Structure 1
Amino acid sequence: MVDMGGEMEPAGSSSMDVELLAAALRQDSADLDVYAKVLSVNLVESLPQGAVQVERKRSMSDRMAGREGTVTGLDVALGDVRLGLRMDRGRPVGEICKEVRGVVLSRRQVGIDEWIAALAQGIADTAASSARAREALQRYLGA
């Protein structure tokens, strides 16, 4: 299981649910644009309001056509853990930060698989503490 700043999964959380969620998240990770849509549209319901921030780069043609632009990064805040995902030379690079009151105490770069596992664990932890988040997560997983 993923250690998120010294905290392992809560007692009420099933590791099978976390693995299922990680597998579902992994399916959409090839394209950062698609991944941003999954997180900002489908999973935003299971996370606290404002937890997902999407960074975009808009060209002049995007602006003129009214398009949102290309996704350049994602930030997901889950308690005192902040998960960032950026594109570096065409490959997604993850970052896991431990943050307390807006101050980053630790920061480490991780591969996409570890980032997804940390995201899945954070979402499962959020769902374990909130009935609304749990229902949204079950809808996402098709359970």
Structure 2
Amino acid sequence: MTDGTPGSHLDLEMLAAQLRRHSDDLSMYAGFLLNVLSAALPAELVEVTREGRWKAKLAGRDPAVLAVAVTIGDRRYELERSGVGAHPTAKIRHQSGGVVLSTKAVSADEWSHALAAALAGIADTNAAAAAALQRLTSP
């Protein structure tokens, strides 16, 4: 299954599966997003929220990632949790001019598919995004 645009060779099912696989552990997933997407996409598209350094230091570890958000066009794809070990929640926000028009809580599966489709859409016109998607779909 592809995104339906001429010349597109991305397999959205494979990309969504990769995203789902990494969404089970938000800390690992955020690191994955940071390493792949942040390196290839403009920094303003990817936002990461970490726990406080003191809290992490007291726990004897690096600050854990609590939330990851990717903004593409008028959509913001958010994956967040309240604390280490907490179950992550997925949301898709529709925004315009910095104003949130709607927020929809979705399953990790729906979130993964929507993010994959949005990334595939910008990859058709952005070589850096295409490179990031290539890394996302590599085994």
Q: 1:73 to 1:17 in 2, by over 3 A?
A: same
Relative to the length of structure 2, the TM-score reads 0.81
Alpha-carbon offset, residue 34 of structure 1 = 0.2
CA offset at residue 104 of structure 1?
0.7
Detail structure 1 runs of 4+ shifted over 6 Å in the superposition.
none
**Amino acid of the structure 1 residue aligned with 2:120:** A
Q: Which runs of 5+ in 2 are unaligned?
A: none
TM-score w.r.t. structure 1 length?
Answer: 0.79
Give the aligned CA root-mean-square deviation in angstroms: 2.8
Residue matched to 1:140: 136
- Secondary structure of the 1:42 match is helix
1:18 to 12, 22, 32: 12
Identity of paired residues, percent?
A: 38
Residues 1:43 and 2:37 are matched in the alignment = yes
What is the one-letter code of the residue matched to 1:18?
A: L
Alignment-mate amino acid for residue 93 of structure 2? C
1:53-110 CA distance string (max 9 Å, x none): 1111125253589964111111111111011111258211111111111011111111
Indicate how the Cα distance of structure 1 residues 61 and 16 shifts in structure 2: closer, same or farther if over 3 A, else same: closer
